Amino acid sequence: MEAFSSRLQEAGLKSTKQRDLIVERFFELDKHINAEELLEDVRGHQPRIGYATVYRTLKLLVEQGFALPKDFGDGQTRYDPIHNQDPQHDHLICVDCRKIIEFNDEELARRLHTIAEGMQYSIRRKKLELYAECQIPRCPNKLG
């Protein structure tokens, strides 16, 4: 993503082949990935890349507003790529199979805005996760 490259330049930071690869793969994979998974993927292209570089690049992406750290309660931080076209979505996590579904709801957004306003606050960002069970009997996603 060239938006990221130009942001780097503005900040006086450098473009390196490791960093570029990590960022490229991060956006191509386009899922709620964690550092370990990203490292593994990236090592398929450049085997000598280390943990530190992946963590440092992810932190950079977060600082520059290209990724959002997420904690789904499994002990590791996952990172959600921000494609600047899409509005910020929420998540529904299946309690049975751990599938993560993204959603967006205008009415919900309006309500949250109203709630915050009522308390004299303006929302900067939010975290909304619904942990839910599939209603379909004998759902194919169900584990165990």
Partner DNA sequence: CTATGTGCAAAGGATTTGCAGGTAT
Partner DNA sequence: ATACCTGCAAATCCTTTGCACATAG
**Whole-angstrom Cα distance, residue 65 to residue 68?**
7
Tokens of 1: 């993503």
**Whole-angstrom Cα distance, residue 67 to residue 47?**
24
* Residue whose entry in the numeric block shows the structure tokens 């599938």: 99
14 binds, among a second copy, DNA, none (CB under 5 to 8 A by kind): DNA
> Is 130 a residue that touches a second copy (CB under 8 A)?
yes
Tokens of 77: 């931080």
127 binds, among DNA, a second copy, none (CB under 5 to 8 A by kind): a second copy
CB of 97 to a second copy, least distance (A): 12
CB of 133 to DNA, least distance (A): 24
> Is 52 a residue that touches DNA (CB under 7 A)?
yes
Per-residue contact string for residues 89-128; x = within reach of a second copy by CB under 8 A: ---x-xx-----x-x-x-xx--xx--xxx-xxxxxxxxxx
CB of 139 to a second copy, least distance (A): 9
Please list, in sequence order, all residues whose beta carbon lies within 8 angstroms of the beta carbon of residue 126, skipping any fewer than 6 positions away: 88, 90, 112
Tokens of 13: 């930071």
